[in-house]
């Protein structure tokens, strides 16, 4: 490696000395270098012109092809429109009707959940109601609610008179019960345990609550509770029912409750415009039919 460096250095020194000592050689070398530079510049210019010409030709070819495609599309526009309609319409119908099925033995379309978890639970085995919390949970909840001021009560989602409420799952319509239990199951899988606060409601109790005007405006015969097609539920945490919508955990729990209710084909009271009833779920269409059948409108 050292010998190579020495050799190269010697040759460079010899060339420099030769050019310095012989002016004619220096002029000849300069002339050759100039001619080489000219030839290189001419070669680069030819490449540039050739590339420019190819670009123009490619652009012309692309415009010609584009015009040809446009003419073909124009001639076939009615065929293309018909093909698009044949593709879009069936897909739109499938998407629009995918939430309705006919149950065995029935004639009316019934909403089915879009959530895969809800759907699998509804199509699977019979869901069993969870064990209720001790009665003391409801007694303590009602006692705490009674101590709240009217202004503080505005942010509370709890129903009225929960101790005396009916919490018998067997009083609730079977199909509706399965949908509610599916919601409970999914929420429990996300770390939120739900508790049934009220299910069936008698006409007498409904009339009393309507007169008080706090929890409902529906009179006797008007509430879905009276037909086993409505429930009031609440999340439970650390042994206490949670109602305070100012609490982020509670608010998120009720909004998940409402989202899953929609996926299960139910209506959530938290989506109402007038009275926000966050604990409430109902099967609205069947409830309306039950009221008509009972002559309650």
pLDDT in tens, 115-161: 688 988 888 878 999 999 999 999 999 999 999 998 888 889 888 78
Question: Is residue 167 within 8 Å of residue 198, measured between CB atoms?
Answer: yes
Question: Is residue 112 within 8 Å of residue 265, measured between CB atoms?
Answer: yes
Question: Is residue 283 within 8 Å of residue 224, measured between CB atoms?
Answer: yes
Question: Is residue 84 within 8 Å of residue 236, measured between CB atoms?
Answer: no
Residues in the chain: 297
Nearest to 232 by CA among 257, 210, 209, 259: 257
pTM, full prediction: 0.60
H-helix or E-strand spanning residue 76: none
Instruction: Judge whether residue 218 has pLDDT over 60.
Output: no
pLDDT of residue 208: 80
CA distance 233 to 112: 21
Instruction: Judge whether residue 19 has pLDDT over 60.
Output: no
53's tokens: 């010409």
Neighbour count for residue 179 (Cβ, 10 Å): 27
Compute the average pLDDT of residues 163-176.
Answer: 95
Question: Is residue 195 within 8 Å of residue 119, measured between CB atoms?
Answer: no
pLDDT averaged over every residue in the chain = 79
Instruction: Judge whether residue 171 has pLDDT over 50.
Output: yes
**235: phi then psi, degrees, rounded to nearest 5:** -75, 150
Q: Tokens 């949908």 correspond to what residue? A: 179
CA distance 184 to 181: 5
Instruction: Judge whether residue 99 has pLDDT over 50.
Output: no
Lowest mean pLDDT among 93-97, 128-132, 143-147, 222-226: 93-97
Higher pLDDT, residue 190 or 20: 190
Give the best-scoring range by mean pLDDT among 70-74, 100-104, 105-109, 147-151: 147-151
Q: Is 246 helix (H, G, I), strand (E, B) or coil?
A: coil
H-helix or E-strand spanning residue 254: helix 248-263
Compute the average pLDDT of residues 182-196.
Answer: 96
Compute the average pLDDT of residues 267-284.
Answer: 92
Q: Give the tens place of pLDDT for each residue, 41-55.
A: 777 777 777 777 766
């Amino acid at each position: 490696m050292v010998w190579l460096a020495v050799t190269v250095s010697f040759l460079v020194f010899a060339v420099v000395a030769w050019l310095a000592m012989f002016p004619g050689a220096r002029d000849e070398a300069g002339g050759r270098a100039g001619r080489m530079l000219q030839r290189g510049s001419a070669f680069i210019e030819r490449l540039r012109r050739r590339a420019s010409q190819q670009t123009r030709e490619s652009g012309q070819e692309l415009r010609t092809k584009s015009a040809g495609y446009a003419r073909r599309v124009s001639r076939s526009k009615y065929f293309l429109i018909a093909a698009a309609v044949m593709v879009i319409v069936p897909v739109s119908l499938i998407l629009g009707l995918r939430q309705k099925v006919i149950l065995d033995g029935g004639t009316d379309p019934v909403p089915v959940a879009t959530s895969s978890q809800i759907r699998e639970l509804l199509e699977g085995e019979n869901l069993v109601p969870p064990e209720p919390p001790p009665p003391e949970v409801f007694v303590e909840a009602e006692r705490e609610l009674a101590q709240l001021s009217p202004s503080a009560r505005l942010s509370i989602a709890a129903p009225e008179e929960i101790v005396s409420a009916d919490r018998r799952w067997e009083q609730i319509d079977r199909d509706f019960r399965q949908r509610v239990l599916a919601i409970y199951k999914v929420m429990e899988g996300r770390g939120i345990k739900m508790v049934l606060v009220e299910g069936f409601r008698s006409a007498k109790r409904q009339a009393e609550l309507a007169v008080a005007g706090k929890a409902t405006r529906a009179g006797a015969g008007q509430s879905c509770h009276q037909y086993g097609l409505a429930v009031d539920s609440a999340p439970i945490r650390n042994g206490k029912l949670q109602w305070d919508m100012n609490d982020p955990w509670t608010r998120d729990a009720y909004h998940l409750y409402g989202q899953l209710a929609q996926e299960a084909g139910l209506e959530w009271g938290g989506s109402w415009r007038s009275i926000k009833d966050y604990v409430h779920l109902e099967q609205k269409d069947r409830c309306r039919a039950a009221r008509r059948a009972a002559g309650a409108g």
